[in-house]
Amino acid sequence: MNLKLYKPLCIFDLETTGTNIGKDRIVEICILKVNPDASRESKTWKVNPEMAIPKECSEIHGIYDEDVKDAPTFREIASKVVEMITGADLGGFNSNRFDVPLLAEELLRADFDFDLSKFKLVDAQTIFFKKEPRNLGAAYQFYCDKTLENAHSAEADVMATFEVLDAQVGRYEDVPNEVAETECFFYSKQVCGSCRNDSF
């Protein structure tokens, strides 16, 4: 193991009813607890969110109302979650922006005091973005094998953006080469029937 741990690290992920931290609810939570001696334990719970799961969310994570109608509510499993993460640090992927705040909301609703100051937070996505930049310059290098000179000058940026877009269409077979269809790919990864007749 490359990580040097002095206390357990709980990597966790949430599947939810949506992305609104204040109103959406957990439908599944998995926690992997990695101990300093490299031993591991993991727990996964399906959770009844006590609200309907929007169809578009179910299509992403594959969990439907029927799958969780008999599952415990978050309040019913909250003590087990707290027990598992107490004394540990927390980690995930995009966890600092989404999973940690939503978990905090759920724990507060379940009457658990969730003091974030007691945890170190490690987000693998943050490391990924720092080490593998996802900006126009990086895209230009990746798709066009060119260095973006004068980044943040409007002219240089638009020229590079067009080259990147054109290279993406050429690189990926499933990215359509018509603008209306490409817009559909961006939103749903499938071409809607109306695009082929789009007159704009």
9-129 is a CATH 3.30.420.10 domain:
yes
Domain ranges of the chain: 9-129, 136-197
**What residue type is 109 in one-letter code?**
R
**What residue type is 186 in one-letter code?**
F
Model confidence at 185, pLDDT cuts 50, 70, 90, reads: low
C-alpha to C-alpha distance for 89 and 4, rounded to whole angstroms: 13
- The owner of tokens 């290098």 is 141
Model confidence at 194, pLDDT cuts 50, 70, 90, reads: very low
Model pLDDT for residues 48-79, shown as the tens digit of each residue: 999 999 999 999 999 999 999 999 999 999 99
State yes or no: pLDDT of 196 exceeds 50: no
Mean pLDDT, range 31-49, rounded to an integer: 97
Would you say 171 and 151 are in contact if contact means Cβ atoms under 8 Å apart? no
CA dihedral 89, 93, 99, 100 (to 10 degrees): 30
Model pLDDT for residues 119-155, shown as the tens digit of each residue: 999 999 999 988 988 899 999 999 999 999 988 889 9
C-alpha to C-alpha distance for 200 and 187, rounded to whole angstroms: 18
Name the 3-class secondary structure at 47: coil
